[in-house]
Amino acid sequence: MDQPAAGGVPGWLVRLTAQLPAWARTVRARLALTYSGLLFLVAALLVGGLYVALAQTIDAAPLDPVTVKKFERGPDGRIHYKPGAEFQAADVADVQAYVNFTTLQTLRTYSFIALAVLFVLSLLIGWWVAGRALRPVGAITATAREITGSDLSRRIAATGPQDELRTLADTLDGMLDRLEAAFTAQRDLVDDVSHELRNPVAVVQANLDAVLSRDDVTPAERAQAAAVVQRATNRMGGLVEDLLATARLRSGAFVERDVDLSALAQEAAEEFRLLASSRGVSLVLRLAPGPRVIADPESLTRALDNLLSNAVRLAPGGSEVTVASGSRAGWAWVAVRDEGPGIAAEDRERVFDRFRRTGPAEGNGEGHGLGLAIARQVVESHEGRIALFSEVGVGSTFVVWLPDRVFHGGQQSPFARDADGPGERDRTPPTDDPLGRR
pLDDT in tens, 390-412: 988 889 999 999 998 865 444 44
* Range with the largest mean pLDDT of 97-101, 125-129, 143-147, 179-183: 125-129
In order, the DSSP letters of 67-136 are EEEEEEE-TTS-EEEEEEEEEEE--HHHHHHHHHHHHHHHHHHHHHHHHHHHHHHHHHHHHHHHHHHTHH
The pLDDT of residue 419 is 38
The pLDDT of residue 402 is 93
* Residue 32, helix vs strand vs coil: helix
Across 65-72, average pLDDT: 63
Residue-level length of the chain: 438
Mean pLDDT computed over every residue of the chain: 77
The pLDDT of residue 413 is 41
Q: Is 429 in contact with 329 (CB distance < 8 Å)?
A: yes
CA distance 320 to 327: 23
Neighbours of 302 (CB within 10 A): 21
Stronger pLDDT, 74 or 411, i.e. the higher one: 74
Phi, psi values for residue 308, rounded to 5°: -65, -40
Q: pLDDT confidence of 386, banded at 50, 70, 90?
A: very high
Stronger pLDDT, 68 or 191, i.e. the higher one: 191
pLDDT digits (tens, 9 = 90+) for 196-255: 677 778 878 888 887 877 777 888 888 888 888 888 887 787 777 766 766 665 555 556
Stronger pLDDT, 117 or 364, i.e. the higher one: 117
Across 63-76, average pLDDT: 65
Across 148-177, average pLDDT: 78
The pLDDT of residue 415 is 40
The pLDDT of residue 365 is 46
CA distance 28 to 17: 15
Residues of the chain above pLDDT 70, percent: 73
Q: Is 291 in contact with 400 (CB distance < 8 Å)?
A: no
pLDDT at 416 over 50: no
Superfamily in which the 255-403 domain is placed by CATH: Histidine kinase-like ATPase, C-terminal domain (3.30.565.10)
* Low-confidence winner among 36-40, 75-79, 252-256 (lowest mean pLDDT): 252-256
Q: Is the dihedral of CA 198, 204, 210, 214 positive or negative?
A: negative
pLDDT digits (tens, 9 = 90+) for 1-31: 555 554 555 665 556 656 767 767 677 787 7
Q: Is 388 in contact with 259 (CB distance < 8 Å)?
A: no
Residues of the chain above pLDDT 90, percent: 13
Which part of the chain is CATH 3.30.565.10? 255-403
* Residue 151, helix vs strand vs coil: strand
Stronger pLDDT, 43 or 415, i.e. the higher one: 43
pLDDT at 345 over 50: yes
* Low-confidence winner among 44-48, 184-188, 314-318, 322-326 (lowest mean pLDDT): 184-188
Q: pLDDT confidence of 438, banded at 50, 70, 90?
A: very low
